[in-house]
């Protein structure tokens, strides 16, 4: 999934001109949040990363909680 993220973020960065480093940083942070919370991933059964993590049972020391 990191390869897809890197490809997508490079498209975003290449399509824009940034007036400052702060603007670039804000754009990267915003896209990263959107990517993990909203964009479904085929490898995760078409769920976002956050939804996939929330749907899994929590295991601590091989015991379900």
Is residue 48 within 8 A of residue 37, CB to CB? The reply is yes
pTM of the complete model: 0.61
Confidence of residue 20 (pLDDT cuts 50, 70, 90): very high
Mean pLDDT taken over the chain: 82
Flag whether pLDDT at 21 surpasses 90.
Answer: yes
Tell me the domain boundaries of the chain.
Answer: 2-64
Residue range 24-53: mean pLDDT, rounded: 87
Q: Which pLDDT belongs to residue 24?
A: 92
Residues 6+ apart with CB under 8 A from 8: 31, 35
Residue range 2-22: mean pLDDT, rounded: 85
């Amino acid at each position: 999934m990191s390869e897809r993220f890197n490809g997508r973020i490079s498209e975003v960065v290449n399509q824009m001109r940034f007036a400052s480093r702060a603007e670039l940083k804000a754009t990267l942070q915003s896209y990263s949040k959107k990517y993990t919370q909203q964009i479904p991933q085929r490898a995760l059964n078409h769920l976002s990363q956050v939804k996939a993590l929330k749907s899994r049972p929590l295991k601590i020391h091989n015991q379900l909680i």
